[in-house]
Amino acid sequence: MARKFLYIVAVCLVLFVAARLAMIYFADELSEIAFVPGQEFEPQPPKAPADWNDPALWVARPGLANDPSRWLPKGASRAPQGTARAAVFFIHPTSYMDKAHWNAPLDDAAANTRARLFTQAMASAFTAAGDVWAPRYRQATIGAFFTDRAEADKALDLAYADVRAAFAVFLRENPKGPIVLAAHSQGSLLLRRLMRDAVAGKPVARRVVAAYLPGWPVSLDHDLPRMGLPACTSDNQSGCVLSWLSVADPADTSALLKGYARQRGLDGQPVAGSAFLCSDPLTGSQDGQSDAGGNLGTLVPDFEHRTGVLVPQTVPAACGPDNFLHIGPPPKLDMGEYVLPGNNYHVYDITLFWENLRADARKRLTAWIAAQDAAPEQSAPQEPSAP
């Protein structure tokens, strides 16, 4: 499987080139023409949680043949055999780039191939803590993020309904013990909403080791208070949230901030001007500053040999006053031609810090277990009967 990794990367990450060129050479209006479906939204019947009993509706899950999340690069850390394990719920980022529909058909071959890649490269970072459950869902097309049209919100609502239904099955199959929540980009957008609706204020919240939401801003005023867990302030803390948006210097974040300003928070209020969470993935702290010496391994693609390698101590991480995670000048690594305009390293939010995230999830799991052992019996978490 490792030899196929970069072949898939080369095919699938080409999708970012189109977005990159459009953002560089065209105005917002032309970007909308290039990516946004012209037709009306197509209402689709909701799916029931029981639909996710079908293994075909999972990109990754225990027992699935050729599970992409089980891929590991050479030198990756592994949890000692016999140690505690969590269940990991991972929501992959946008992999549907077509204008034919507002939402991806579940049988779209290209979108499914890309979803496997993203799960392989990103979700694998969390497997030292547990087995990954990554659902297929009728994700919104990438064009939904280039427009203010009402159809975009409807597309995201449909995607969210699928994710919530899949999460119900995940909880049914994992009724006890710790869980890790992780996502990227569109997945993080949906995960923050899932946390508000299905985690905050519910017994399952006490089972969450950590929630990782890179690639989508989490407003400190309008999102985080509704998600049921605080921001992570250290790497020995469990039951908390991490989020970051990676940029190299000099960074032009004007387009990102413009898009952020159009959003509403989980409280329904505009988020424009509000600070968003910046976690340092090298130390697991809020608003942290770390030099490259603390980076245990960046996952770098090797196109020639169709694999990926870990390169340590190359990429730093520093939360800036603008709330973005700055990685210094563009790293001297052959990451490919998929950096977005403004030195935006969105595509690499997880892979830049891949090995540190493995260690982070494992350390938080250890902290979660210690907290349960130390808790008085009457305050021990009760297992929920429903999400």
Give the per-residue pLDDT at 122. 95
pLDDT tens digits along 152-164:
999 999 999 999 9
What are the structure tokens assigned to 149, written together?
């049209």
3-state secondary structure of 293: helix
pLDDT tens digits along 245-269:
999 999 999 989 988 998 999 999 9
pLDDT, average across residues 102-119: 95
pLDDT, average across residues 174-197: 98
Distance CA 20, CA 366 (A): 40
Distance CA 172, CA 131 (A): 15
Give the per-residue pLDDT at 37. 86
pLDDT tens digits along 370-385:
999 876 654 444 444 4
Give the pLDDT band (50/70/90) at residue 335.
confident
What are the structure tokens assigned to 68, written together?
């992409």
Exposure class string for 84-115: b at 16+ Cβ within 10 A, else e: eebbbbbbbbbbbbeeebbbbebebeebbebb
What is the overall mean pLDDT for the chain?
Answer: 89
Distance CA 243, CA 350 (A): 11
pLDDT tens digits along 2-29:
444 444 444 444 444 444 444 443 445 5
Distance CA 180, CA 384 (A): 16
Give the pLDDT band (50/70/90) at residue 303.
low
Give the per-residue pLDDT at 31. 53
Q: Other C-beta atoms within 10 Å of 78: how many? A: 10
Q: Give CA separation, 239 vs 59, 166, 200, 228, 368, in Å.
A: 26, 22, 11, 9, 7
Distance CA 35, CA 355 (A): 34
Least Cα distance to 152 among 27, 259, 257, 19 occurs for 259
**E strand spans, the chain:** 58-60, 86-91, 130-135, 179-183, 208-212, 241-242, 246-247, 279-280, 285-286, 289-290, 298-302, 307-311, 317-319, 325-326
pLDDT, average across residues 78-106: 93
Place of tokens 């403004």: 342
Alpha-carbon dihedral angle through residues 63, 65, 71, 77, given to the nearest 10 degrees: 20
Residue 306 has pLDDT above 90, yes or no: no
Give the pLDDT band (50/70/90) at residue 39.
confident
- Terminal CA-CA length for the chain: 35
Q: Give CA separation, 48 vs 23, 51, 263, in Å.
A: 38, 6, 29
Q: Other C-beta atoms within 10 Å of 119: how many? A: 25
Give the per-residue pLDDT at 374. 77
What number of H helices and E strands is found in the chain? 8, 14
pLDDT tens digits along 212-255:
999 999 999 999 999 999 999 999 999 999 999 999 999 999 98
Domain spans in the chain, listed from the N-terminal domain onward: 2-74+85-373
pLDDT, average across residues 272-284: 97
Bridge-based pairing of strands 208-212 and 241-242 is parallel
Give the per-residue pLDDT at 38. 78
